Each structure stands twice: as C-alpha cells, then as structure tokens.
C-alpha cells in the first residue's frame, strides 16, 4: 500500500528550522532518506518552496479566485512529503515516528494513496488512465 507522509509545520516550527545548521539538517534528512531507500519503501520525497512562491486557487466563486502566497490565516503549512510503499498504516506511522524533523511546531499527516485498481475498471476514463500508466511504466 502507498502512504503519503505530509510534513507540516507552524510558523514556530519554521522559525526553529532556521536555527539549524543547513548542512547538518541535510545530513540528518539524508540519513533518514537512505534508511527508507535501503528498507525498500521510499517511492518519492520532496520538500516544497515557501508559500511566498506559491498561489491558492479558491473555487468558492466563478471564476475561481487566485491568491498569491503567503496565505493569510494558515496555522500550518505543508512543507514537503514522502511517498512510501509499506505493508500497513502502522508501518507508515512507525516511519513517521522516526522522522528527524520533529518537535514542537511540527506534525506529519499520514494518508493512504488510492490505487487505480480501487476504481471501477469498466469506466472509460479509468481505462485511459490505465493505458497511459502502462505506456509510461507507471504500472
């Protein structure tokens, strides 16, 4: 099963991160990433740039409203993610507990990723998606 570990932080957490030595932080995260890779569970891992470089599309109106970051009122920001292939939610939780970027101001949300096999296979859009994935080595 695929699980996404969504790394979140508050402003306090991001402020704490700025206190860390950048090279030391890269080494610590690198060791964790290597451990995931050696265990054979790592599918992807990415960090996100700051919200000031992003935008939000709000669909509450027509046309949708686009707001450039940073986003007012956000208590926690999504800062990056891991995509893991593990046997269970419990295993995903175990990996999240070992996450080096932890402490006050940090959280990791764990969500199972749906697979294409969970959707109606006779749906024409699912069939197209499956064909595309097979053609591009995604299945």
119 is a domain residue: yes
Q: Is the pLDDT of residue 70 over 80?
A: no
25 — pLDDT class (breaks 50, 70, 90): confident
pLDDT tens-digit map of 103-118: 788 899 999 999 999 9
Q: Does the global pTM surpass 0.75?
A: yes
Residues contacting 41, CB < 8 A, separation 6+: 84, 85, 86, 91, 95
Phi/psi at 18 (nearest 5 deg)? -70, -15
107 is a domain residue: yes
User: How buried is residue 114: exposed, middle or buried, by Cβ count under 10 Å (0-12/13-18/19+)?
Assistant: exposed
67 is a domain residue: no
Looking up residue 117, the CATH number of its domain turns out to be 3.30.70.1060
Residues spanned by the domain of 34: 2-50+76-135
55 is a domain residue: no
37 is a domain residue: yes
> Beta partners for 45?
82
86 is a domain residue: yes
Give the neighbor-by-neighbor strand order of the sheet with 106-113: 42-47, 77-85, 2-9, 106-113
């Amino acid at each position: 099963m695929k699980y996404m570990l969504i790394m979140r932080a508050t402003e306090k957490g991001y402020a704490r991160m700025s206190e860390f030595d950048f090279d030391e932080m890269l080494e610590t995260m690198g060791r964790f990433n290597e451990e995931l890779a050696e265990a054979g569970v790592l599918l992807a891992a990415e960090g996100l740039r700051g919200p000031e470089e992003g935008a939000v599309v709000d669909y509450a109106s027509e046309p949708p409203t686009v707001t450039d970051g940073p986003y007012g009122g956000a208590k926690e920001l999504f800062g990056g993610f891991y995509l893991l292939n593990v046997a269970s939610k419990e295993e995903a939780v175990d990996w999240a507990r070992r996450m080096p970027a932890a402490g006050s101001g940090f959280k990791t949300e764990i969500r199972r990723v749906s697979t294409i096999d969970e959707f109606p296979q006779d749906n024409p859009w699912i069939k197209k998606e499956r064909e595309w994935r097979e053609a591009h080595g995604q299945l």
